[in-house]
Every structure is written in C-alpha cells, then in structure tokens.
Amino acid sequence: MSASVDSSKGRRVSESKTTMTEMVLPQHTNALGSVFGGVIMSWIDICGAITAQRHSRLPVVTASIDYLQFVKPVMIGWTVNLKASINYVGQTSMEVGVRIDAENPRTGETFHTASAYLSFVALDEKRNPLPVAPLILETEDEKRRNADAKKRREARLRLRGR
C-alpha cells in the first residue's frame, strides 16, 4: 500500500478500500435456501462503513443507501465477496460504492450479485457532523466514479428538496 498523504491535502482512494468475505450459513437463508436480502444489505452497510471510517478516521453513520437490485440469488454454503471504495467526499459526507459478487465453491463460478452506493457522515463524540479529508483521485476509473457520484449526490439532494 502506498504511503499516507497529509490529510489536509486529502487521502487516496486506495488508502480506504475494503474487501470483506462472508459465507452463507443456514441462519442467513430463507425457506428456498438462498440468502435473505437483508443479510446482504447488512454486509453492504458494514463494508461501506469500514471504508468510510478508514477514509475519515472518524466514527460514521449511514445517511442513505441508493437503489439496490439483486441480480442473482446466493445459495447456502456459497461465499459472498464485497469490495468497497470511496467515490466522492463532500465536507462531512462520503459516498462509498460496494460491489457484491458470489462464488459457488463447488464449481468455482463467480458472478455479480448486487451493487450499492451508500452515503456516510463522519461524527464527533457529540454526534455532530465533522469535516473529512478531501479525496485524491489518481486513476481515470476513480475520476469517472467520482463524476458519477456527484450526479447521484445532486439527485439525492433534489429528492430531499435541497
């Protein structure tokens, strides 16, 4: 991993990326043997929060989760891989993108299960929003994801009437 930069100048996307792996166990599944959507949503929230905390180096709370669609079911005994990275940083809020892939351990097949965008807010000990370090964009992909995140943020603000 590359060295940290002065937080007043910002932090790189690579400094806060998170990878998380979970196994689908019986308590995670419905009567059909596939994982409950709420379980995957919980894993998404945890993975996103870790990423936001790594970037801000502060406690964070989830402010919103954008549109979430499950593409394919994930069955008992399978592995779920979540990858999260910061897409956008405002003054106190951050957008984190999480990609969820499933793996069938018997066949080795992996497939995209879902993607989600979450907004987190950094808080002080009194639970007031705190400013966070700016985001340093280094790659074309990071710049594209940041531009897309700005559009999603504008849409979220319009929905809230701001």
Domain ranges within the chain, ordered by starting residue: 11-159
The answer, as to whether pTM is greater than 0.75, is: yes
Please state the rounded mean pLDDT for residues 91-114. 96
Under 8 Å between Cβ of 42 and 88: no
For 13-59, the pLDDT digits (tens) are 999 999 999 999 999 999 999 999 999 999 999 999 999 999 999 99
CATH number, domain 11-159: 3.10.129.10
What pLDDT is attached to residue 1? Answer: 37
**How does strand 135-136 pair with strand 11-12?**
parallel
Among candidate residues 54, 136, 61, the one with its CA nearest the CA of residue 92: 61
Structure confidence by residue, pLDDT tens digits, 55-69 = 999 999 999 998 788
Residue 5's pLDDT band (boundaries 50, 70, 90)? very low
